[in-house]
Amino acid sequence: MRRSLLWSFAVLLAALQPLFSMAEEWFENAVIGGDLRYRHERTDKEGSDARNRHRIRLRVGMTSAVNSNLTADVRLATGSTAPYTSDQSLTGSFSSKEINLDRAYLDWQPASLKGVHLLGGKMANPLFTGNGLVWDADVTPEGLAARYASGSDVIRFLAAAGGFWVEERSSDDDTLVYCGQLAVDMKGDRAGLLTGVGICSYDNMEGFPVLVDELNGFGNSVAPVTDGDGEVVRLNYAHDYNQVEGFAEVSGKAGPAPCKVRGHYVINTEADDDDTGYLVGFQIGKAKKPGSLQLDYDWRELEADAVVGALTDSNVWGGGTDGRGHRAYLTYQLAENWQLGAEYFVSEIGLDDPVDYNKLRLEVKAKF
Protein backbone atom coordinates (compact mmCIF):
# COMPACT_ATOMS: atom_id res chain seq x y z
CA MET A 1 0.00 0.00 0.00
CA ARG A 2 2.82 2.40 0.97
CA ARG A 3 4.71 1.62 -2.25
CA SER A 4 1.55 2.29 -4.23
CA LEU A 5 1.07 5.68 -2.59
CA LEU A 6 4.74 6.61 -3.12
CA TRP A 7 4.52 5.56 -6.75
CA SER A 8 1.33 7.60 -7.28
CA PHE A 9 2.98 10.62 -5.67
CA ALA A 10 6.02 10.29 -7.91
CA VAL A 11 3.82 10.07 -11.00
CA LEU A 12 1.89 13.17 -9.87
CA LEU A 13 5.11 15.15 -9.36
CA ALA A 14 6.33 14.15 -12.81
CA ALA A 15 3.02 15.24 -14.34
CA LEU A 16 3.15 18.61 -12.56
CA GLN A 17 6.80 19.28 -13.42
CA PRO A 18 5.94 21.29 -16.58
CA LEU A 19 3.62 23.48 -14.51
CA PHE A 20 6.34 24.05 -11.90
CA SER A 21 8.75 25.02 -14.68
CA MET A 22 6.19 27.42 -16.17
CA ALA A 23 5.56 29.00 -12.75
CA GLU A 24 9.30 29.37 -12.13
CA GLU A 25 9.78 31.01 -15.54
CA TRP A 26 6.76 33.27 -14.92
CA PHE A 27 8.22 34.57 -11.65
CA GLU A 28 11.65 35.00 -13.21
CA ASN A 29 10.07 37.25 -15.83
CA ALA A 30 8.09 39.27 -13.27
CA VAL A 31 8.84 42.92 -12.54
CA ILE A 32 7.61 44.06 -9.12
CA GLY A 33 7.34 47.72 -8.21
CA GLY A 34 5.18 50.39 -6.69
CA ASP A 35 5.05 53.73 -4.96
CA LEU A 36 4.26 55.18 -1.55
CA ARG A 37 3.01 58.71 -0.96
CA TYR A 38 2.54 60.61 2.32
CA ARG A 39 0.47 63.79 2.06
CA HIS A 40 -0.72 66.65 4.24
CA GLU A 41 -3.92 68.21 2.90
CA ARG A 42 -5.71 71.39 3.99
CA THR A 43 -9.13 72.19 2.50
CA ASP A 44 -10.85 75.57 2.81
CA LYS A 45 -14.43 75.59 1.57
CA GLU A 46 -16.57 78.70 1.86
CA GLY A 47 -19.11 78.28 4.65
CA SER A 48 -17.25 75.38 6.30
CA ASP A 49 -14.43 75.08 8.80
CA ALA A 50 -10.98 74.38 7.36
CA ARG A 51 -10.17 70.68 7.29
CA ASN A 52 -6.70 69.18 7.77
CA ARG A 53 -5.93 65.58 6.89
CA HIS A 54 -2.89 63.37 6.57
CA ARG A 55 -3.26 60.72 3.89
CA ILE A 56 -1.24 57.86 2.44
CA ARG A 57 -1.34 55.99 -0.83
CA LEU A 58 0.39 52.68 -1.42
CA ARG A 59 0.40 50.90 -4.77
CA VAL A 60 2.21 47.61 -5.38
CA GLY A 61 2.11 45.87 -8.72
CA MET A 62 3.64 43.06 -10.71
CA THR A 63 4.01 42.75 -14.48
CA SER A 64 5.12 39.44 -15.92
CA ALA A 65 5.73 38.14 -19.41
CA VAL A 66 3.63 34.98 -19.60
CA ASN A 67 5.24 34.27 -22.97
CA SER A 68 6.75 36.27 -25.84
CA ASN A 69 3.37 37.77 -26.80
CA LEU A 70 1.37 37.89 -23.56
CA THR A 71 1.86 40.00 -20.44
CA ALA A 72 -0.07 39.90 -17.17
CA ASP A 73 -0.40 43.03 -15.03
CA VAL A 74 -1.69 43.00 -11.43
CA ARG A 75 -1.70 45.88 -8.93
CA LEU A 76 -3.02 46.39 -5.40
CA ALA A 77 -3.74 49.82 -3.93
CA THR A 78 -4.95 51.45 -0.73
CA GLY A 79 -8.19 53.40 -0.50
CA SER A 80 -11.87 52.59 -0.58
CA THR A 81 -13.71 51.03 -3.50
CA ALA A 82 -14.34 54.49 -5.02
CA PRO A 83 -12.85 54.50 -8.55
CA TYR A 84 -11.42 58.01 -8.40
CA THR A 85 -8.92 57.79 -5.54
CA SER A 86 -6.46 55.46 -3.83
CA ASP A 87 -5.85 57.80 -0.90
CA GLN A 88 -6.38 56.54 2.62
CA SER A 89 -6.87 59.04 5.46
CA LEU A 90 -5.00 58.47 8.72
CA THR A 91 -7.89 58.01 11.13
CA GLY A 92 -9.97 55.29 12.80
CA SER A 93 -8.03 54.80 16.04
CA PHE A 94 -5.05 53.18 14.26
CA SER A 95 -7.27 50.70 12.46
CA SER A 96 -5.92 48.68 9.55
CA LYS A 97 -6.28 50.26 6.11
CA GLU A 98 -8.03 48.77 3.11
CA ILE A 99 -6.15 47.18 0.21
CA ASN A 100 -8.07 46.63 -3.02
CA LEU A 101 -7.50 45.11 -6.44
CA ASP A 102 -6.61 48.11 -8.62
CA ARG A 103 -5.54 46.31 -11.80
CA ALA A 104 -5.76 42.79 -13.16
CA TYR A 105 -5.50 42.44 -16.92
CA LEU A 106 -3.84 40.63 -19.80
CA ASP A 107 -1.98 42.43 -22.58
CA TRP A 108 -1.69 40.37 -25.77
CA GLN A 109 0.58 41.57 -28.57
CA PRO A 110 -0.17 39.27 -31.54
CA ALA A 111 2.99 38.50 -33.51
CA SER A 112 1.11 38.94 -36.79
CA LEU A 113 -0.22 42.41 -35.83
CA LYS A 114 2.76 44.64 -35.20
CA GLY A 115 2.02 47.56 -32.89
CA VAL A 116 -1.29 46.12 -31.64
CA HIS A 117 -2.07 45.50 -27.96
CA LEU A 118 -5.28 43.66 -27.04
CA LEU A 119 -6.26 44.15 -23.40
CA GLY A 120 -8.76 42.39 -21.16
CA GLY A 121 -9.62 42.84 -17.48
CA LYS A 122 -9.37 45.75 -15.04
CA MET A 123 -6.71 47.82 -16.76
CA ALA A 124 -4.59 50.92 -16.79
CA ASN A 125 -6.59 53.44 -18.81
CA PRO A 126 -5.67 52.86 -22.48
CA LEU A 127 -6.99 56.32 -23.45
CA PHE A 128 -5.21 59.67 -23.43
CA THR A 129 -6.30 61.28 -20.15
CA GLY A 130 -4.22 64.48 -20.09
CA ASN A 131 -4.70 66.34 -16.81
CA GLY A 132 -7.97 64.67 -15.85
CA LEU A 133 -10.58 66.75 -17.68
CA VAL A 134 -12.54 63.63 -18.72
CA TRP A 135 -10.99 60.81 -16.66
CA ASP A 136 -9.50 60.89 -13.19
CA ALA A 137 -5.96 59.48 -13.26
CA ASP A 138 -6.91 56.78 -10.71
CA VAL A 139 -9.77 55.30 -12.78
CA THR A 140 -8.94 51.81 -14.08
CA PRO A 141 -11.61 50.78 -16.65
CA GLU A 142 -12.94 47.22 -16.78
CA GLY A 143 -13.62 45.30 -19.98
CA LEU A 144 -11.89 44.93 -23.36
CA ALA A 145 -9.67 47.39 -25.20
CA ALA A 146 -7.14 47.71 -28.02
CA ARG A 147 -4.22 50.06 -28.59
CA TYR A 148 -2.23 50.61 -31.77
CA ALA A 149 0.91 52.60 -32.55
CA SER A 150 2.78 52.83 -35.85
CA GLY A 151 5.36 55.13 -37.37
CA SER A 152 8.87 56.42 -36.85
CA ASP A 153 10.79 58.59 -34.40
CA VAL A 154 9.52 61.64 -36.31
CA ILE A 155 5.82 60.85 -36.59
CA ARG A 156 3.66 58.18 -34.96
CA PHE A 157 0.00 57.36 -35.43
CA LEU A 158 -1.89 56.27 -32.32
CA ALA A 159 -5.29 54.68 -31.80
CA ALA A 160 -7.17 53.30 -28.82
CA ALA A 161 -10.63 51.77 -28.42
CA GLY A 162 -12.50 50.02 -25.66
CA GLY A 163 -15.81 48.67 -24.45
CA PHE A 164 -16.10 48.89 -20.68
CA TRP A 165 -18.62 47.58 -18.13
CA VAL A 166 -19.68 50.48 -15.93
CA GLU A 167 -22.60 48.93 -14.02
CA GLU A 168 -23.92 45.36 -14.41
CA ARG A 169 -27.51 44.96 -13.19
CA SER A 170 -29.25 41.65 -12.63
CA SER A 171 -32.79 43.04 -13.01
CA ASP A 172 -32.28 45.94 -15.43
CA ASP A 173 -30.21 47.01 -18.42
CA ASP A 174 -26.47 47.32 -17.93
CA THR A 175 -24.58 50.60 -18.24
CA LEU A 176 -21.60 50.39 -20.59
CA VAL A 177 -19.32 52.89 -22.30
CA TYR A 178 -17.70 52.58 -25.72
CA CYS A 179 -14.63 54.75 -26.36
CA GLY A 180 -12.31 55.48 -29.24
CA GLN A 181 -9.41 57.86 -29.85
CA LEU A 182 -7.19 58.75 -32.81
CA ALA A 183 -4.02 60.81 -32.40
CA VAL A 184 -0.78 61.76 -34.11
CA ASP A 185 2.51 62.37 -32.27
CA MET A 186 5.10 64.44 -34.19
CA LYS A 187 8.60 65.16 -32.90
CA GLY A 188 11.20 67.48 -34.37
CA ASP A 189 14.64 68.65 -33.27
CA ARG A 190 13.25 71.57 -31.27
CA ALA A 191 9.53 70.97 -30.84
CA GLY A 192 6.83 68.33 -30.87
CA LEU A 193 3.07 68.07 -31.21
CA LEU A 194 0.62 65.49 -29.91
CA THR A 195 -2.95 66.05 -31.05
CA GLY A 196 -6.04 63.91 -31.34
CA VAL A 197 -9.78 63.43 -31.06
CA GLY A 198 -11.94 60.95 -29.20
CA ILE A 199 -15.43 59.90 -28.22
CA CYS A 200 -16.94 58.06 -25.25
CA SER A 201 -20.58 57.02 -25.64
CA TYR A 202 -22.50 55.63 -22.65
CA ASP A 203 -25.43 53.21 -22.87
CA ASN A 204 -28.26 53.43 -20.31
CA MET A 205 -27.52 56.56 -18.28
CA GLU A 206 -30.63 58.77 -18.53
CA GLY A 207 -33.21 57.53 -16.01
CA PHE A 208 -30.73 55.12 -14.39
CA PRO A 209 -29.17 55.46 -10.91
CA VAL A 210 -26.10 57.65 -10.55
CA LEU A 211 -22.75 55.90 -10.32
CA VAL A 212 -20.61 55.28 -7.22
CA ASP A 213 -22.93 56.94 -4.67
CA GLU A 214 -26.73 56.74 -5.11
CA LEU A 215 -27.23 60.07 -3.30
CA ASN A 216 -24.43 62.04 -5.00
CA GLY A 217 -24.64 63.19 -8.62
CA PHE A 218 -21.08 64.61 -8.56
CA GLY A 219 -22.30 67.81 -10.23
CA ASN A 220 -24.36 66.15 -12.99
CA SER A 221 -28.04 66.98 -13.54
CA VAL A 222 -30.18 64.43 -11.69
CA ALA A 223 -33.79 63.54 -10.93
CA PRO A 224 -34.59 62.44 -7.35
CA VAL A 225 -36.47 59.21 -6.65
CA THR A 226 -38.54 59.21 -3.43
CA ASP A 227 -40.22 56.58 -1.30
CA GLY A 228 -43.79 56.64 0.03
CA ASP A 229 -42.84 59.11 2.76
CA GLY A 230 -41.31 61.54 0.29
CA GLU A 231 -37.75 60.73 1.32
CA VAL A 232 -35.15 60.71 -1.44
CA VAL A 233 -33.83 57.16 -1.78
CA ARG A 234 -31.63 57.64 -4.86
CA LEU A 235 -30.80 59.95 -7.75
CA ASN A 236 -31.19 59.16 -11.46
CA TYR A 237 -29.29 60.78 -14.31
CA ALA A 238 -31.26 63.41 -16.21
CA HIS A 239 -29.19 63.01 -19.40
CA ASP A 240 -27.30 60.50 -21.48
CA TYR A 241 -23.61 61.07 -22.13
CA ASN A 242 -21.87 61.09 -25.52
CA GLN A 243 -18.58 62.83 -24.82
CA VAL A 244 -16.67 64.15 -27.87
CA GLU A 245 -13.20 65.51 -27.16
CA GLY A 246 -10.22 67.14 -28.83
CA PHE A 247 -6.77 67.60 -27.31
CA ALA A 248 -3.35 68.97 -28.19
CA GLU A 249 0.03 69.20 -26.48
CA VAL A 250 2.97 71.22 -27.85
CA SER A 251 6.41 70.45 -26.44
CA GLY A 252 9.63 72.41 -26.75
CA LYS A 253 12.11 74.31 -24.57
CA ALA A 254 11.94 77.49 -22.51
CA GLY A 255 15.64 78.31 -22.47
CA PRO A 256 17.42 75.17 -21.23
CA ALA A 257 14.28 73.75 -19.60
CA PRO A 258 11.84 71.45 -21.40
CA CYS A 259 8.28 72.76 -21.53
CA LYS A 260 4.79 71.84 -22.72
CA VAL A 261 1.64 73.77 -23.52
CA ARG A 262 -1.61 71.80 -23.54
CA GLY A 263 -5.30 72.17 -24.26
CA HIS A 264 -8.30 69.86 -23.93
CA TYR A 265 -11.94 70.38 -24.92
CA VAL A 266 -15.00 68.16 -24.44
CA ILE A 267 -18.71 68.41 -25.26
CA ASN A 268 -21.60 66.11 -24.36
CA THR A 269 -23.81 65.96 -27.45
CA GLU A 270 -26.70 64.41 -25.47
CA ALA A 271 -27.25 67.48 -23.27
CA ASP A 272 -29.03 70.62 -24.49
CA ASP A 273 -27.00 73.00 -22.31
CA ASP A 274 -24.31 72.96 -19.60
CA ASP A 275 -22.57 70.53 -21.90
CA THR A 276 -18.96 71.70 -22.41
CA GLY A 277 -15.64 71.71 -20.64
CA TYR A 278 -12.10 72.80 -21.37
CA LEU A 279 -8.59 72.90 -19.90
CA VAL A 280 -5.52 74.96 -20.78
CA GLY A 281 -2.16 74.67 -19.08
CA PHE A 282 1.60 74.34 -19.27
CA GLN A 283 4.57 72.50 -17.81
CA ILE A 284 8.08 73.90 -17.31
CA GLY A 285 11.00 71.68 -16.36
CA LYS A 286 11.15 67.96 -15.70
CA ALA A 287 11.59 66.46 -12.23
CA LYS A 288 13.83 63.54 -13.11
CA LYS A 289 17.44 64.09 -12.06
CA PRO A 290 18.20 64.86 -8.38
CA GLY A 291 17.91 68.60 -7.80
CA SER A 292 15.59 69.23 -10.77
CA LEU A 293 12.29 71.10 -10.61
CA GLN A 294 8.98 70.82 -12.49
CA LEU A 295 6.10 73.30 -12.48
CA ASP A 296 2.65 72.33 -13.78
CA TYR A 297 -0.28 74.72 -14.10
CA ASP A 298 -3.74 74.49 -15.61
CA TRP A 299 -7.08 76.27 -15.65
CA ARG A 300 -10.22 74.23 -16.26
CA GLU A 301 -13.96 74.64 -16.39
CA LEU A 302 -16.54 71.87 -16.53
CA GLU A 303 -20.23 72.56 -16.98
CA ALA A 304 -22.64 70.30 -15.13
CA ASP A 305 -23.23 67.72 -17.88
CA ALA A 306 -20.03 67.94 -19.92
CA VAL A 307 -18.75 64.58 -18.61
CA VAL A 308 -19.75 61.91 -16.11
CA GLY A 309 -18.94 63.59 -12.79
CA ALA A 310 -18.15 60.43 -10.82
CA LEU A 311 -15.24 59.57 -13.14
CA THR A 312 -13.60 62.94 -13.75
CA ASP A 313 -10.80 64.51 -11.67
CA SER A 314 -11.67 64.20 -7.97
CA ASN A 315 -9.26 66.90 -6.79
CA VAL A 316 -10.23 70.27 -8.27
CA TRP A 317 -13.20 71.91 -6.45
CA GLY A 318 -13.66 68.65 -4.55
CA GLY A 319 -14.39 66.55 -7.64
CA GLY A 320 -17.18 66.14 -10.17
CA THR A 321 -18.45 68.72 -12.65
CA ASP A 322 -20.01 72.21 -12.38
CA GLY A 323 -16.88 74.05 -11.35
CA ARG A 324 -13.87 76.04 -12.48
CA GLY A 325 -10.45 76.71 -11.09
CA HIS A 326 -6.66 76.95 -11.10
CA ARG A 327 -4.24 74.15 -10.26
CA ALA A 328 -0.51 74.67 -9.67
CA TYR A 329 1.86 71.82 -8.81
CA LEU A 330 5.58 72.15 -8.03
CA THR A 331 7.73 69.00 -7.91
CA TYR A 332 11.31 68.77 -6.63
CA GLN A 333 13.40 65.67 -7.32
CA LEU A 334 15.10 65.19 -3.96
CA ALA A 335 16.98 62.02 -4.93
CA GLU A 336 16.61 59.05 -7.23
CA ASN A 337 13.01 57.74 -6.96
CA TRP A 338 12.20 60.31 -4.26
CA GLN A 339 10.18 63.50 -4.83
CA LEU A 340 8.75 66.38 -2.82
CA GLY A 341 5.59 68.08 -4.06
CA ALA A 342 3.44 71.12 -3.32
CA GLU A 343 0.03 71.51 -4.99
CA TYR A 344 -2.49 74.33 -4.66
CA PHE A 345 -6.04 74.63 -5.98
CA VAL A 346 -7.97 77.90 -6.21
CA SER A 347 -11.41 77.01 -7.50
CA GLU A 348 -15.16 77.45 -7.34
CA ILE A 349 -17.97 74.91 -6.93
CA GLY A 350 -21.00 75.85 -9.01
CA LEU A 351 -20.85 78.03 -12.11
CA ASP A 352 -24.14 79.86 -11.50
CA ASP A 353 -23.82 80.45 -7.74
CA PRO A 354 -20.14 79.79 -7.00
CA VAL A 355 -18.72 78.70 -3.65
CA ASP A 356 -14.98 79.22 -3.05
CA TYR A 357 -12.98 76.01 -2.66
CA ASN A 358 -9.22 76.11 -2.01
CA LYS A 359 -6.89 73.24 -1.20
CA LEU A 360 -3.21 72.94 -0.31
CA ARG A 361 -1.25 69.69 -0.50
CA LEU A 362 2.30 68.96 0.67
CA GLU A 363 3.62 65.50 -0.07
CA VAL A 364 6.57 63.18 -0.35
CA LYS A 365 6.59 60.32 -2.89
CA ALA A 366 8.89 57.33 -3.16
CA LYS A 367 9.04 54.74 -5.95
CA PHE A 368 10.41 51.27 -5.56
Q: Please give the pLDDT value at position 80.
A: 84
Could you tell me if 218 and 210 are in contact, meaning their C-beta atoms sit under 8 angstroms apart? yes
Q: What is the pTM of this model?
A: 0.90
Give 366's pLDDT tier (boundaries 50, 70, 90): very high
Cα–Cα dist 357/241, whole Å: 27
Check residue 114 and report its DSSP letter.
Answer: T
* Bridge partner list, 264: 247, 279
Give 23's pLDDT tier (boundaries 50, 70, 90): low
Region 253-278: what's the mean pLDDT?
A: 95
Secondary-structure percent of the chain, ordered helix, strand, coil, rounded to 5: 10, 55, 35
The enclosing H or E element of 235 equals: strand 232-237
The type of residue at 282 is F
Listed residue (299, 304, 332) closest to 320, CA to CA: 304
Q: What is the pLDDT of residues 86-141, one digit of tens each?
A: 999 999 999 999 999 999 999 999 999 999 999 999 999 999 999 999 999 999 99
Cα–Cα dist 327/359, whole Å: 9
Give DSSP secondary structure letters for 133-166: SSS-TT---EEEEEEEEEE-SSEEEEEEEEEEEE
Q: What is the pLDDT of residues 218-232, one digit of tens each?
A: 999 999 999 988 899
Q: How many Å separate Cα 148 from the centre of its chain?
A: 20
Q: Please give the pLDDT value at position 10.
A: 59
The topology (CATH level 3) of 25-367 is Porin (2.40.160)
List, in sequence order, the alpha helices (H) in the chain: 2-28
Query: Where in the chain are the domains?
Result: 25-367
Q: Please give the pLDDT value at position 189.
A: 87
The type of residue at 174 is D
Q: Please give the pLDDT value at position 4.
A: 59
